Chains A and B, each alone.
Chain A
Amino acid sequence: MPVAPATGLRGKDLVGIDPLSAGEIQLLLDTAEQMREVAERPIKKVPALRGKTVVNLFFEPSTRTRFSFEVAEKRLSADSLNFAASASSVEKGETLIDTARNLEAMQPDFIVIRHRYAGAPHRLARILKASVINAGDGAHEHPTQALLDALTIRLHRGTLEGQVVAIFGDLQFSRVVRSNVLLLSRMGAKVRVGGPPSLVPPGIEQLGCEVYHRMEDAIAGADVVMMLRIQLERQSRVNFPTVREYYDFFALTPERLKLARKDCLVMHPGPMNRGVEIDSRVADGPQSVILEQVTNGVAVRMAVLYLLAGGHGEPVAD
């Protein structure tokens, strides 16, 4: 049964997928689909957020997500301010709360935050008047990534319902997996997750998925395979032996991909470790939609900003 879209978002913030209803997710995806059309125009800009200020507060390095938000903001005619932690007073020891309060004193309408620690956006959301958008917090959530992944699947398959989606890799340190499992299961997809058993956090099945250890089992008959980046920088040396062995047991290779449905989509949130979790022949192959994910990211972020600003109805009317 298709989910009826909500008429608007309930909260002032988007801190995660967890607080969203299926109807809100549906509305976000529907709106994002309309937003895609803006990019097709000769002048890729609508005035929806004219006069609104967005602060992109990135405490962790990011190119893809930050650029994607920036492009989305510009296409909606918002004024963007970029704040990278390395160039700020964070290095002088200022706390997150102080930084945020100082920024709020400049009266922004949105704060897009990427932070290495889980819960940081929630803390800001509670104390700030501005709408807080989580652009990734620690190993917790990355809601706009899950929305763009869902949009990509939906554009290819027409629906999320009943889709068998296998998400494979480093589950322990992945915020992408948490948001994706929550979103996809809420929208009626069948979600399988897997990875080295030493990187599967306890109770992950309670988010709405089945846990697999062998990659071959997870992939068998899947409609979508989503590979997660091995976060080499977050690993201690006891979690798995070597990158070489990782590739051997857990990488998406052309041979393994054959176990999935013939037209199975190959996805990756990026940045990829080629030759570690994904073979280049697959990443660049005909089933890969990895670059479409990036394109859809802009549309999804436009939709989030637009809806949080209180938008309804036809967003792209000039």
Chain B
Amino acid sequence: MSRLLIRHARVVDPSQRLDEGRDILIEDGVIARIAERIDGKGAEVLDAAGLVAAPGFIDVHVHLREPGFEYKETVASGSAAAVAGGFTAVCCMANTDPVNDNAAVTEFIRKRASEAGLARVYPIGAVSKGLDGEEMAEIGEMVRAGAVAVSDDGRPVKNAQLMRRALEYTRLFDIPVIDHCEDHDLVAKGVMHEGPVSTRLGLRGISAASEDVMVARDLILAELTGGRLHVAHASTLGAISRVRNGKARGIAVTCEVTPHHLALTDQAVADTEYDTNTKMNPPLRSDEHSAALLDGVLDGTVDCLATDHAPHHADEKALEFDQAPFGVIGLETALPVTYDLLVRGKKMPLSRFVALWSTNPARIMRLPGGTLKVGSPADLTLFDPEARRTVDPDSFRSASRNTPFAGRKLRGWPFMTIVGGKVAFRRERR
């Protein structure tokens, strides 16, 4: 029997309303006991004094790029980035090549993940065959192979009838349909948020309305069907207020917000003089939108945080702003960026913070983690709320470097990531 004892941690587990100094005993990969003082006889002992121990953080929105775009990221490099960022589990989007629109690809991703043996990787299947937005993919087969949700992310589900049917059909499996809400006609050829900054920079704008229109449509369809809608990377005031109203009406809707949409605005594009690491979709919005996202996070409208980790090769990002691909990576900066902003900046209770990154994502995706109750899988994130470090892209485990946070000094870094009772990542403490 393998035994691991974590000593002197501040254990924060919203699922048990726990926020106390505790020892945690792990036996054979599951939580065996949590108590003030546990005898460590026969166990490997880890001193976690000064660290917060939380149920493993889960990122419900990442792009691992394998199969097809291994030069950007692989399941192995992406899971290494995940555990280095404090994540014990990630849900990966279907826009690979071939697309994850059938059970064979779902199984392939899971096989790669188990070979890597780091984070738990839960594939998200496509809603439509080939992500073409027209024909429904074999959702049931993918669920049987381990898919935990469906999404055409990277694109919206353009055909409203398909969206309706997907929301109906997925009720059989109790999985959410995750929509990347944007109306392509309204986006036109936009490359950044539409507003005074895009006007000054002479870049084509992506209006907030292009997102709001789709969120409104999806909410109407979710209400009609009773299906579970999850709004990916909500970035506008309109999206947040519509989700808030939808929840009040009893619609089965959840939503996520990314660290970069909370921490940055469209001004970053101007300040960095067209740095393509400020280009992503949805785009960095203006102050009023990021303030609305923050309100949504604080008042509970936003269910969880998610990175939309989107690796791209440096050569692709070295193009002109118009030409560079949308997307930034986030796994290895998410925790300190959001900790600094929410807990240090907004005095958010730690238990709320942990809920946003662990308890709630687990609930939305019906994953086994998100709790440290005895008998649960021993997935833990240990981070140091005081540790201050500078974001150094060269230290990333991800195969890509496209972060907008390079050089930022942040607090709240992960120091140990435990997956199934095994230490998957450990940072030296100074």
A-side interface residues toward B, CB under 8 Å?
18, 95-97, 115, 117-120, 122-123, 126, 137-141, 175, 178, 201-204, 206-207, 236
Contacts and interface: CB of A to CB of B under 8 A. Distances in A.
B199 A138 contact: no
A118 B199 contact: no
Nearest to A175: B202
A203 B199 contact: yes
A204 B322 contact: no
Nearest to B207: A202
B195 A202 contact: yes
A236 B320 CA distance: 22
Contact of B202 (A95, A118, A202): A118
Interface string B37-49: 0000000000000
Contacts of B273: 119, 122-123, 126
Contact of B320 (A120, A126, A175): A120
Contacts of A138: 202-203, 322
A156 B322 CA distance: 39
A279 B305 CA distance: 57
What is the size category of the interface that chain B forms with chain A? 20 to 34
Contacts of A140: 201-203
Contacts, number: 69
Contacts of B322: 117-118, 138
B319 interface: yes
B406 to A, nearest CB: 15
A275 B322 CA distance: 32
A180 to B, nearest CB: 13
Given A137-B202, A178-B202, A119 B196 contact: no
A83 B18 CA distance: 68
Contacts of B318: 95, 97
B205 A202 contact: yes
A138 to B, nearest CB: 5
A95 B319 contact: yes
Contacts of A118: 201-203, 274, 321-322
B194 interface: yes
Given A119-B273, A122-B274, A206-B196, A96 B202 contact: no
Contacts of B274: 118-119, 122-123
A131 B273 CA distance: 17
A120 B320 CA distance: 6
A202 B197 CA distance: 9
Contacts of A137: 202
Contacts of B249: none
Given A202-B194, A202-B196, A206-B196, A119 B319 contact: no
A95 B315 contact: yes
B200 interface: yes
Nearest to B203: A118
B188 interface: yes
B95 interface: no
Contacts of B196: 202-204, 206
Contacts of B290: none
Contacts of A204: 196, 199
B323 A117 contact: yes
Given A139-B202, A178-B202, 13 more contacts: A117-B323, A119-B274, A119-B320, A119-B321, A123-B320, A178-B199, A178-B200, A202-B196, A202-B199, A202-B205, A203-B199, A203-B200, A206-B199
